[in-house]
Amino acid sequence: MIDLLGDVLESEAMHDLLDHVVLGKLRSSLDNCVAERERLDNIKANRELLPHEEEDWNCIVQDIHALTRVIHFYGG
């Protein structure tokens, strides 16, 4: 049974499944970052961002860029 499980974990299908799961999680993280950036953009439209909000916005923009690059690298 352990040998069978080992064979399954090393199979191409398992790698494809794991790639799909990882890409799904990365896309979910990207969607969350985009939503948060949009929320901060809406605040910015009405007033200046507070220093911590400005720092969050800058970090989120970098996160969006990084997640997009990783997703494209892995074929998403």
Q: How far apart are CA 22 and CA 40, in angstroms?
A: 27
Q: What is the pLDDT of residues 29-67, one digit of tens each?
A: 999 999 999 999 999 999 999 999 999 999 999 999 999
What is the structure's pLDDT at 8?
Answer: 65
Q: What are phi and psi of 74, to 5 degrees?
A: -90, 10
Checking if the pLDDT of 11 tops 70, the result is yes
Q: What are phi and psi of 13, to 5 degrees?
A: -60, -40
Q: How far apart are CA 70 and CA 50, in angstroms?
A: 30
What is the structure's pLDDT at 4?
Answer: 66
Is the pLDDT higher at 19 or at 44? Answer: 44
Compute, in degrees rounded to 10, the torsion defined by CA atoms 55, 57, 58, 61: 160
Is the pLDDT higher at 25 or at 1? Answer: 25
Average pLDDT over residues 13-40: 93
**How many CB atoms neighbour CB 21 within 10 A?**
10
